[in-house]
Amino acid sequence: MSKRSGFMRLPGDKSSIEYEATERKVVMHFDVLPEFCYFEGTEVQRGYSAVWIDAAMAQLVSRVTSGEYAAATLEMKLNYVQPVIGRLVTAEASIERIGRSVAFLEGCLLDEESKLLIAASSTIMLVRANND
């Protein structure tokens, strides 16, 4: 687990990343706060859940390319399997294929019991990172 440097602060972010280099996978954890919810504070607004998955994917691209590239999301598809309800969620991202300028990623959002809440796929453009 490592701390992020130079990365935006996300709603509910627990400020840690688990990176599994051999599996090319990132895992991030987020606290679900009442202010992220609608329907009387029980279900997370879908924009927050999309941001959490997208952030895991962006961190994965940065890690896999040793910080040389950042991710610009070209397209992201989300399949909402179950409502996002609970106090803690986990966003995971993995690379299906990475080329010179485009990467194809898979991701998901899991609840505290590792049940699938959202399945995602994304097309990412690799953008040279500004490491100044």
Instruction: Determine the pLDDT at residue 13.
Output: 60
pLDDT in tens, 80-93: 999 888 788 999 99
What gap in Å lies between CA 4 and CA 15, rounded to an integer?
6
Q: What is the pLDDT of residues 101-117, one digit of tens each?
A: 999 999 999 999 999 99
The answer to whether 56 and 93 have CB atoms below 8 angstroms apart is yes
Give the span between the Cα atoms of 125 and 75, in whole angstroms. Answer: 9
- Mean pLDDT for 24-28 is 95
Is residue 36 over pLDDT 50? yes
Could you identify the residue written with the tokens 């679900």?
A: 32
Question: What percentage of the chain carries pLDDT values higher than 70?
Answer: 86
